[in-house]
């Protein structure tokens, strides 16, 4: 039975069904004398970590474990989806350990964004969410921006201890760690992972030069992420690939914007004004009148208003609405995982529609 199949790398129970879940190995691997899961295999042979996801309960176990060890914690968030990719409750689990907060994918933000200002914003948000990081970095793991500085800070703050890298799926944790591996080892070989005897930790350890480890934890599936509700192929549509170009819409009261069929923005009152949309450039924005919007959605979701795809309409959650009154200048209406709409002047009443389970919220303008 599966019970006997334990990965010699990370100690996880091996399964052969789902390549994206923890412990996956192809069925053929079970015939070998020593079994290694795909994630450890990739690290061993290609010096590459691969993201796998864990259920909430198992992830909590790992977090609990971190609190009991003496380590540095590096938490990665997707700067394009800051709130949606936050790990709630992390601060309760880190115990007395220091935390470095890394905002990844900064390459997606318009060049005009002042990084220092954004870092300040991240510190404030983190504090409000209960976390007091030692340092905050803005990086692009994909492009290698600020990775050297971040690696250096990690090395300084770890002070001879292990490093745990945590983040929910899709924040770019694997890309980040793969960069760090290159920084730390050059192109040299990484000898993988020998698991802690007698435990199943589901984590893989990447050796650092002083005998300590950089520990890759599985990503947690954050159920509020928009990514959860779209087809894999459509992830490419909603995830920006390059710098987002802000789109300005002059709206009259009573006008609606559809963001594909995934979200809807109603401008209720506040006089004619402009709204700046920060969304993937590939996402289709459709403008209509509020009075026609329900019917239009009913008729055209899955075709003109897509994603979602026709074949997924049955399982796609209904859009639920949330009303906001903008009291302060420079406010973002955030459609978690899709992007945001910036309102520059106060006094507007708007309604945000998102799939049930996804978050819509207001924040002080990021940019």
Of 44, 105, 158, 224, which one interacts with ligand GDP (CB under 6 A)? 105
Q: How many residues lie near ligand GDP (CB under 6 A)?
A: 17
Reduce the DSSP state of residue 90 to 3 states and report it: helix
Residue spans of alpha helices (H) in 261-333:
290-300
CB 349 within 8 A of CB 361: no
Nearest C-alpha neighbor of 102 from the set 75, 132, 142: 75
| Dihedral over Cα of 77, 69, 158, 95: its sign | positive
Among 146, 169, 280, 342, binds ligand GDP (CB under 6 A): 169
- Paired with 289 in beta bridges are 255
With a CB cutoff of 8 Å and minimum separation 6, the contacts of 115 are 106, 138
Binding segment for ligand GDP (CB under 6 A), chosen from 169-177, 255-263, 296-304, 353-361, is 169-177
174 touches ligand GDP (CB under 6 A): yes
Question: Which one of 104, 255, 256, 306 is in contact with ligand GDP (CB under 6 A)?
Answer: 104
Residue 231 or 253: the one with the smaller Cβ distance to ligand GDP is: 231
Residue 281 structure tokens: 């450039």
Locate the DSSP E strands across the chain.
53-54, 71-78, 99-104, 135-138, 162-166, 204-207, 213-216, 219-220, 247-251, 255-259, 263-269, 273-279, 285-289, 319-326, 331-335, 339-343, 348-355, 360-364
Question: Is 81 near ligand GDP (CB under 6 A)?
Answer: no
Structure token pair of residue 363: 């924040």
Residue of 8, 60, 129, 142 that binds ligand GDP (CB under 6 A): 142
If the CB atoms of residues 174 and 331 are measured against ligand GDP, the closer one turns out to be 174
**Segment interacting with ligand GDP, rule: CB under 6 A, options 138-146, 157-165, 292-300, 339-347:** 138-146
End-to-end CA distance of the chain: 54
Within positions 106 to 135, which residues make up the interface with ligand GDP, using CB under 6 A?
A: 107-108
* Nearest approach, Cβ of residue 167 and ligand GDP (Å): 6
- For residue 310 the two structure tokens come to 């026709």
Does 146 engage in binding with ligand GDP (CB under 6 A)?
no
- Which residue's CB is nearer to ligand GDP, number 133 or number 167? 167
Q: Which residues pair with 70 in a beta bridge?
A: none
- 244/290 with CB nearer ligand GDP: 244
Nearest CB to ligand GDP, comparing residues 119 and 142: 142
The two three-digit tokens of residue 225, written as one number = 């992420």
Q: Which residue has tokens 């050796």?
A: 207
Could you tell me the CA-to-CA distances from 112 to 84, 164, 349 in Å, in that order? 23, 33, 28
Question: Which residues 185-224 are close enough to bind ligand GDP by CB under 6 A?
Answer: 219
Assigned token pair, 202:
């589901």
Around 350, how many Cα atoms within 13 Å sit in the side-chain half-sphere? 32
Nearer to ligand GDP, 142 or 268 (CB): 142
* Candidate ranges 64-72, 104-112, 128-136, 158-166; the one touching ligand GDP (CB under 6 A): 104-112
At closest approach, how far in Å is the CB of 74 from ligand GDP?
A: 12
Q: Is 306 in the site for ligand GDP (CB under 6 A)?
A: no
Q: Does 225 bind ligand GDP (CB under 6 A)?
A: no
* In the block, residue with structure tokens 């989806």: 81
Rounded to the nearest whole angstrom, what is the least distance from the CB of residue 344 to ligand GDP in the complex?
A: 26
Is residue 51 close enough to count as binding ligand GDP by CB under 6 A? yes
* Candidate ranges 172-180, 251-259, 304-312, 322-330; the one touching ligand GDP (CB under 6 A): 172-180
Residue 242 CB: number of other CB atoms within 10 A?
9
Nearest approach, Cβ of 179 to ligand GDP (angstroms)? 9
Q: Give me 272's structure tokens.
A: 């004619």
Q: Residue 173 interacts with ligand GDP (CB under 6 A)?
A: yes
Residues within the interface to ligand GDP (CB under 6 A) = 51, 104-105, 107-108, 140-142, 167, 169-175, 219
């Amino acid at each position: 039975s599966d019970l006997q199949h334990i990965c010699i790398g990370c100690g996880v129970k091996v399964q052969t069904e789902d390549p994206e879940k923890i412990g996956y190995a192809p069925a053929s691997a079970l015939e070998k004398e020593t079994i290694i899961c795909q994630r450890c295999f990739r690290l061993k042979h290609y010096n590459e970590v691969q993201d796998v996801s864990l259920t909430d309960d198992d992830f909590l176990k790992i977090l609990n474990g971190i609190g009991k060890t003496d380590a540095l914690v590096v938490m990665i968030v997707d700067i394009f989806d800051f709130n949606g990719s936050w790990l709630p409750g992390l601060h309760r689990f880190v115990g007395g350990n220091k935390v470095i907060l890394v905002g990844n994918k900064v390459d997606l933000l318009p060049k005009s964004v002042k990084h220092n200002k954004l870092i300040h914003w991240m510190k404030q948000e983190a504090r409000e969410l209960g976390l007091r990081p030692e340092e905050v970095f803005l990086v692009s793991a994909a492009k290698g921006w600020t990775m050297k500085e971040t690696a250096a800070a990690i090395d300084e703050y770890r002070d001879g201890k292990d490093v745990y890298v945590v983040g929910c799926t899709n924040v770019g944790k694997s890309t980040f760690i793969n960069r760090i591996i290159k920084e730390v080892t050059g192109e040299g070989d990484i000898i993988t992972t020998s698991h802690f005897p007698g435990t199943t930790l589901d984590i893989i350890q990447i050796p650092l030069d002083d005998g300590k480890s950089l520990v890759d934890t599985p990503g947690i599936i954050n159920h509020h992420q928009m990514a959860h509700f779209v087809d894999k192929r459509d992830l490419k549509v909603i995830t920006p690939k390059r710098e987002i170009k802000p789109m300005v819409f002059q709206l009259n009261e009573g006008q609606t914007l559809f963001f594909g069929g995934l979200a809807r923005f109603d401008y209720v009152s506040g006089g004619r004004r402009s709204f700046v949309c920060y969304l993937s450039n590939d996402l289709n924005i459709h403008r209509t009148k509020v009075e026609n919007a329900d019917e239009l959605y009913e008729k055209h979701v899955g075709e003109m208003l897509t994603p979602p795809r026709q074949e997924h309409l049955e399982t796609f959650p209904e859009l639920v609405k949330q009303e906001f009154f903008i009291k302060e200048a420079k406010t973002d209406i955030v459609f978690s995982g899709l992007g945001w709409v910036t309102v520059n002047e106060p006094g507007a009443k708007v309604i945000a529609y998102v799939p049930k389970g996804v978050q819509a919220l207001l924040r002080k303008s990021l940019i």
